[in-house]
Structure 1
Amino acid sequence: MRGVDKADMLCALHPIPFRSKKWYIRIAWRLFDRMVINSWLLANHLGKQNVNWKNSRLCDFKTEIACTLLKGSVALQRPALVPIQRRQHSGSDTDENNRSKSDRKKRDLTRTIPRILRYDGNEHWPKFVKSRLRCKYEECELKTQWTCSKCELHLCIQPQHNCFVAFHTKQ
């Protein structure tokens, strides 16, 4: 009975607020809640084997799923803001000049796109815009006028290298 008690406890932590007189709607919401909790438990169990996995809380996991489902609609898209960490200058420019280009840290994205949204392969279309900004793919330094319609990021589309495809495919 340990599994049943734990499942009931996790359902009671963050219940889905629903009210319905129809019995089948209550069952559907309960099943959906159980699916989310089971996937969270499975992700945490499998995440212990992966070093890069960040252990998340159930509430954060449910929020991320809700945001991903809402991102499916173009009308409800909103950029996720992430604070930028600034480096402190040591005051000596000689150390900076001695460092080679390969030793420098790659630039971080100012916005992070959830992996589920980035690799879902659904409704990622190149869109031409007037503003010419730097490509947000880590390995590219060119400026481009193409953005992803779903991710809202500037990505290159060129015959030599296609950052748009490289950004949306797992490596």
Structure 2
Amino acid sequence: MGAEPISSVYRYCSETKRKEQVSCPAVIKSYNANMGGIDKSDMLVHLYRTPMKSKRWYMRMFAYSVDISLTNAWVFYRRDCKAIGFLEGLSLKNFRIQVFREASSQRSLTSHPRKSSASQGSLSTSVAIPTPVRGHRSTNTAIHVRFDMSLFHAPDYTNRQTCKYCSRKGNIMRSNVVCRVCKVHLCLNADRNCFLKYHEAVA
């Protein structure tokens, strides 16, 4: 076998207090020259990592995939901001927060200045949403979906589960009726019409 290719690089010497030329395998020099920002990517990913305490390796891989995707998206976002001359872009932390808010439909009302005051008033009205009962499954329906009358909130008959509107701790009411849009169970019988009250609480 032939000798390993040798190259040279400059490294700081603590004795002479300056950079000195030292020999090293050529593969190391090639690796350092073609890393393509891997070190910086790892640094950015580890700044704000998604907390994942699961011992399952695939869950940790999923969390890392989310982090690396968000970091790459932020890098492209910063590049586009510089291209259009918008220097006051979001930091990586605020960018991640904004993405998670959009993904969970937690949009602030101030981010839509063109909306009419009537529509803003309907969304900003305080609504007495029942507290989920501990031990029972609850579905968090977005407010803008729950009160959107343009959607077809039709009742559907399915398996019996806890009513989202009238159930309280110590007084569990169950219903076979579920809203096709909101995906929550609501009472709809001769005694209670939680289906109507749930969708017209702001009206």
Answer yes or no: same fold by TM over 0.5: no
TM-score, normalising length: structure 1:
0.45
Higher strand share: 2
Greater C-alpha Rg: 2
TM-score, normalising length: structure 2:
0.38
- Relative CO higher for 1 or 2, CA cutoff 8 Å, sep ≥ 6? 1
